Amino acid sequence: MTLEERISNSKTSIFKAVFPNTTNHYDTLFGGTAMHMMDEVAFITATRFSRQIMVTVSSDRIDFKKPIPAGTIVELIGKVSHVGNTSLKVNVEIYIEQMYAEGRELAVHGDFTFVAIDENKKPVQVIK
């Protein structure tokens, strides 16, 4: 399988509803909750790409472009953006959709770096 095919096959998309128990006093999604959801999607993407044990080593810049209100649907999309020797980078975007209207907007995007490790927690090649 080519690198491009691996990247394409590992693209991950998850939809979630934003309920009041995940929002702050402004009735918008907590930033930490958004980051948690993004790291989860990034982890799934990295694991699907490498099919190895992957651990998050950094979140490199997360930009909050729009608030995410309660009562909306969000789509999180993870895609491998860079592959190194023992690490890879995953770009994650969160899009907002109103439940009862057409259209969507990019609300948040960020990059996460993962390292492939063995059973002794030592870095290994991302692609075997």
| Upper half-sphere CA count for residue 16 (Cβ side, 13 Å) | 20
Model confidence pLDDT, tens digit, residues 29-44: 999 999 999 999 999 9
- pLDDT for the residue numbered 74: 98
Q: Kindly state the tokens that stand for 104.
A: 């969507």
Average pLDDT, the chain: 97
The predicted pLDDT at position 95 comes to 98
- Return the bridge partners of 14, or none: 76
Q: Domains (ranges, CATH) in the chain?
A: 3-116 (3.10.129.10)
- Residues 59/9, Cβ–Cβ less than 8 Å: no
Would you state the pLDDT for residue 119? 96
Residue 54: closest CA among 99, 84, 77: 84
Q: Which two structure tokens, joined as six digits, stand for 70?
A: 């309660």
Note the pTM of the prediction, 2 decimals. Answer: 0.95
Residue 7: what residue type? I
pLDDT the model gives residue 128: 83
Per-residue pLDDT of the chain (128 residues; tens, 9 = 90+): 899 999 999 999 999 999 999 999 999 999 999 999 999 999 999 999 999 999 999 998 999 999 999 999 999 999 999 999 999 999 999 999 999 999 999 999 999 999 999 999 999 999 98
